[in-house]
Chains A and B, each alone.
Chain A
């Protein structure tokens, strides 16, 4: 640490070089974030949430078949490393003639992952809504679907907002794994830059800082949304 700092400040030329690298790296890093990290996060999260709601509903349904399918899905995803799943999708599937674009592979992998983990959050949230809320819906003539959509899910959304926000923020960081399936998201950009100049500490720290800034903003938005939804409780 001391040596590194010494080497920077004792040597004006090296200082200038580092400042220069930091500046020129910023653009490709941000590009990676804007073009890939952020879209990958948002698309995967939306698809994942849809999967999660469906899975949660399957788990609480009275149809045994749906329950079993949902259980197997959640268990398989939670029981295997995300990295391995991404490898199977991107490097494995071509063996049976299924070749998928890197970005799409990553979307599939992350969506499946979000779907499984978030389904547990949503299931718990749905079950936490008192039975009387379903009954009040039924008593004014609602069908299962109407009660679910109008009464239960909006309240479950409030309950699951904090844990889902955490999932979302984790996903931002997890998308760095997409670098191994050749998606040029922010971390892969950082790897490409360091391959040319060997300034690992600087460039990876710069990438880390950008992740941090993104996550910080997300947590600000989370707080804002929670306060908005708190109006009625």
Chain B
């Protein structure tokens, strides 16, 4: 087993503070074992890009971090809070754990019966019980930040895919998570709309947000990622800086995968 815990160097934004720690994470669907012992540490402010072949468990790992999937066993800690899935976890601890992460879905999953603004306000108002007027201001600011300040009263169906995904990012940010999780956020988009979403994500990375991004956008990985993780068969096969992993992959499996997609 490779120890990744001290493999990254830190810039000003990245202290040595460990934001995410995954230990011995397993997930089984019936007979199918999808995650076979994931170990991963992510420092505060790091941007990690996850690549790997279809079915390797990338989505499942993100969903476990957001506890949309209950792992079979393993321990996940985020910002000091941890859940040990070898024991049974209470609904309450899952709920408070979930607040630590914001999830951005491949197909946006916006609430179609609510406007962009209402989508963003929903969490703070309903879940956190915050004051509506204050939340409205915050939500407006967030939508402006992701570049759709002029469309806050539009319904999702009236927005392009790129705009919808940016609302999705704003919706997750509104809950003020410690970590943002992105599952192929641009893969459902027309090529000309990919850039606007990646730009928002890059800005977020520059602000020091800790991010785990599953994506096949190699340019994003090169420009924004601190490290790239290659997953295959339910384990982390290789982890390294983008330029390293793309030019000198250590593992044969990584090399094969990179040859295939480039």
Contact = CB atoms under 8 A, between A and B. Distances in A.
Contacts, number: 65
Interface in A130-167: 130, 132-133, 135-136, 138-143, 146, 150-151, 154-155, 158
Nearest to A129: B112
B111 A136 contact: yes
Contacts of B112: 155, 232-233
A155 B113 contact: yes
Interface in A17-54: none
Given A155-B113, A158-B113, A233 B157 contact: yes
Nearest to B91: A143
A136 B122 CA distance: 11
Given A141-B98, A143-B95, A135 B175 contact: no
B126 interface: yes
A140 B68 contact: no
Interface in B199-253: none
Contacts of A136: 103, 105, 109-111, 171
A231 interface: yes
B123 A140 contact: yes
B157 A139 contact: no
Interface centre among A130, A133, A136, A158 (most CB of B within 10 A): A136
B32 interface: no
Interface string A151-186: 100110010000000000000000000000000000
Contacts of A146: 126-127
Given A150-B122, A231-B155, A132 B105 contact: yes
A75 to B, nearest CB: 31
A161 to B, nearest CB: 13
A141 B111 contact: no
A233 B66 CA distance: 29
Contacts of A141: 95, 98-99, 123, 127-128, 175
Contact of B155 (A133, A143, A154, A232): A232
A146 B123 CA distance: 10
- Closest 6 A-B residue pairs measured CB to CB? A140-B123, A232-B155, A136-B109, A139-B103, A132-B109, A141-B127
A195 to B, nearest CB: 52
A71 to B, nearest CB: 26
B16 interface: no
Contact of B171 (A140, A143, A158): A140
A155 B111 CA distance: 9
A150 B66 CA distance: 20
Contacts of A133: 109, 111
Interface in A116-140: 130, 132-133, 135-136, 138-140
A233 B95 CA distance: 31
Interface centre among A139, A141, A142, A158 (most CB of B within 10 A): A139
Given A143-B91, A232-B112, 8 more contacts: A133-B111, A138-B68, A138-B98, A139-B105, A140-B102, A140-B122, A141-B98, A232-B157
A139 B68 contact: yes
Contacts of B172: 139-140
B177 to A, nearest CB: 9
A181 B124 CA distance: 53
B156 interface: yes
B123 A154 contact: no
Contacts of A232: 112-114, 155-157
